[in-house]
Amino acid sequence: MTVKKTVPYKTYLTEEEMPKSWYNLRADMKEQHAPFLNPGTLEPIQAADLYPVFAEKLADIEMDETTPYIAIPEDVQNFYKMFRPSPLVRAYELEKLLETPAKIYYKFEGNNTSGSHKLNAAAAMAYYAKEQGLSALTTETGAGQWGTALAVSCAHYKLDLTVFMVKVSFNQKPFRKAVMETYGASIIPSPSTTTAVGRAILEKNPETGGSLGCAISEAIEQSMQDDQCRYALGSVLNQVLVFQSVIGLETKIAMDKLGEYPDVIVGCAGGGSNIGGLMAPYMQDKLTGKGNPRIVAVEPASCPSLTRGKYAYDFCDTGRITPLAKMYTLGSDFMPAPNHAGGLRYHGMSPILSKLYHDGYMEAVSVAQSEVFEAAVAFAKCEQILPAPESAHAIYGAVQEALKCKETGEEKTILFGLTGTGYFDLQAYANFNAGNMSDYIPTDEDLKQGFDGLPNVG
C-alpha cells in the first residue's frame, strides 16, 4: 500500500522568499557570554582590537550584542542564489526504515563545491574583506570543507588565499588540495616551518599530525605579516553563527509554509556553527517564550568538548596568540586522535552555544565513530545522499529521537541538519566497510593534559 504523502519530499523557497537579513541570536539572549579577554592584560577586548586580525565589519559583527537583524548585502544575496536556497527534505524513506510515527525533516547544505554549509559564512567574509579593499586572506582547514568554501569565495571576490591544512587531513585527502588549488588557493600542511609558531610546535613534537588549533595559530601569524591581509575562521566565532543563521531562517520559512514546528532539533557540533545557524530562529522562540523545542548537539566521543569539557576561559589556538574566550573546552593543548570526522576535531565550542548549553537551553550527547557510520550507511541507502561523517552525527541523533518515538508512539516532528556530503571521506567509508573503524575514546587521563594547560583565569 502506498501512503499518501501530504507534505512534498522537498520544499524549496523561491529566490524572492529567501532571507534578506541574518539573525543575531545575541540580541535576544538574556545574558551574554563572558567577554573575550586580552591574554596579556586580561581586560575585555573591543571591536577595534580585532581590526588587525579580521576585516573591520567582521570584527564589528563579532562584538555586536544588540542588533537582532543584520542586512545581507545585495551582493552576498546574489552569491547565495548560486547555491541556495537549500532544500528542506521530508525523510519519508528513513521514517519507513525506522518504523517510527515521528516526522523527520532535514535541511541539506551539501549542494555546493565545498560539500557543506561552510560557504554561507565564507561568502560573507570574502565580501567584507573585498569591500574594505583588502587583497588577501589566510585561514586554516581541518577536513577541507572550510578551505574549499573560502577558496571558492576568494576566487569570486578576487582575493589571494593561503590555507593551512591540518597535516593528517592533508595526507588523508590529497584531492581536497587539488580542489582548493583549482580555485587559486595556496595550501600549506600544518604545522609547517613557514611560521614561528609552526616551527615551535614541530620542535616540541616533530611527529605531530597537527590540529585545527595549530593551523589557526599559523594562519593568524601569516596574516599579521601583511597589512593588506586578514585572517578568516570558519566556525566557533559569533560572526559565523550570524552568517549561518541563513540555514535556520530558510528552514523556518519553509516549515511555516508546511504548517510544521519541530519538537526536537538535532545538529552535529564541531565548533557549533551549523547547529547554531539551524536552531537560531527557534532559539529566538525559546528565548522570547514563543516556542520550546528541544535542541540536541551531537559530538564525537573522540573530541567531546560539550559533554566532557570544562566551561572555562581558554585560547582558541594552540600557539596561544588569540584572545581568551570562555567556552566548553578540552584545552588548547588537546590533540584529538585521528578521527574521520575532521570537521568536528576542535578543542573548544562556540562561546554563544557554550553559554546557552550552560544555562540549560540545549542538550548534548556524544557518540562513538562506528555507530555514526552505521547511521550514515542506513541513511545513504534509504535517502540516497552519501553523508559527510560530521553530518552523520546528526543523523545518528535524529535516529535515536525517532526510535524513542517508536517506543512511546509519539508523533513528534524531528528536524536535523544534514551539513554535507562525504565524497572526500571515502577512505573512512572503506575502513568502515572493511570492519576497520577505530572507536577511540579518550580516558580521563588523556583529557588531563589539555585541562592542565588551561590558563588560570576567572
Ligand X SMILES: *Cc1c(COP(=O)(O)O)cnc(C)c1O
Binding stretches for ligand X (CB under 6 A): 116, 118, 145-146, 235, 268-274, 343-344, 388, 390-391, 419-420
C-alpha grid cell, residue 351: 562561546
Task: Please provide the distance, in angstroms rounded to a whole number, between the alpha carbons at the two ends of the chain.
Answer: 63
Minimum Å gap between C-beta 111 and ligand X is: 12
Q: Which is nearer to ligand X, 29 or 275 (CB)?
A: 275
Residue 48 carries which DSSP code? G
Minimum Å gap between C-beta 169 and ligand X is: 12
What are the backbone dihedrals phi and psi of residue 13, each rounded to the nearest 5 degrees, phi first?
-75, 160
Q: Which is nearer to ligand X, 324 or 388 (CB)?
A: 388
Q: Angle CA(277)–CA(336)–CA(180) in degrees, nearest 5?
A: 60
Minimum Å gap between C-beta 150 and ligand X is: 12
Candidates 275, 248, 252; CA nearest to 352 is 275
Minimum Å gap between C-beta 37 and ligand X is: 23
Minimum Å gap between C-beta 191 and ligand X is: 20
What does the alpha-carbon distance between residue 4 and residue 405 come to, in Å, rounded to a whole number?
A: 21
Candidates 249, 353, 372; CA nearest to 301 is 372
Q: Which is nearer to ligand X, 116 or 413 (CB)?
A: 116
Q: Which is nearer to ligand X, 134 or 265 (CB)?
A: 265
Minimum Å gap between C-beta 422 and ligand X is: 8
**CB of 96 within 8 A of CB of 29?**
no
Q: Which is nearer to ligand X, 137 or 344 (CB)?
A: 344
**CB of 329 within 8 A of CB of 347?**
yes
**CB of 56 within 8 A of CB of 343?**
no
Candidates 374, 368, 321, 55; CA nearest to 198 is 321
What does the alpha-carbon distance between residue 92 and residue 104 come to, in Å, rounded to a whole number?
A: 7
Minimum Å gap between C-beta 142 and ligand X is: 7
Residue 307 carries which DSSP code? H
Q: Which is nearer to ligand X, 146 or 432 (CB)?
A: 146
Minimum Å gap between C-beta 268 and ligand X is: 5
DSSP-derived pairing of the beta strands 294-300 and 264-268: parallel
Residue 173 carries which DSSP code? -
What are the backbone dihedrals phi and psi of residue 286, each rounded to the nearest 5 degrees, phi first?
-65, -45
What does the alpha-carbon distance between residue 360 and residue 354 come to, in Å, rounded to a whole number?
A: 10
Q: Which is nearer to ligand X, 212 or 437 (CB)?
A: 212
Q: Which is nearer to ligand X, 90 or 118 (CB)?
A: 118
What does the alpha-carbon distance between residue 267 and residue 396 come to, in Å, rounded to a whole number?
A: 10
**CB of 315 within 8 A of CB of 346?**
no
C-alpha grid cell, residue 173: 585527502
Q: Which is nearer to ligand X, 195 or 339 (CB)?
A: 339
Q: Which is nearer to ligand X, 219 or 229 (CB)?
A: 219
Minimum Å gap between C-beta 3 and ligand X is: 31
Minimum Å gap between C-beta 65 and ligand X is: 21
Candidates 333, 329, 320; CA nearest to 453 is 333
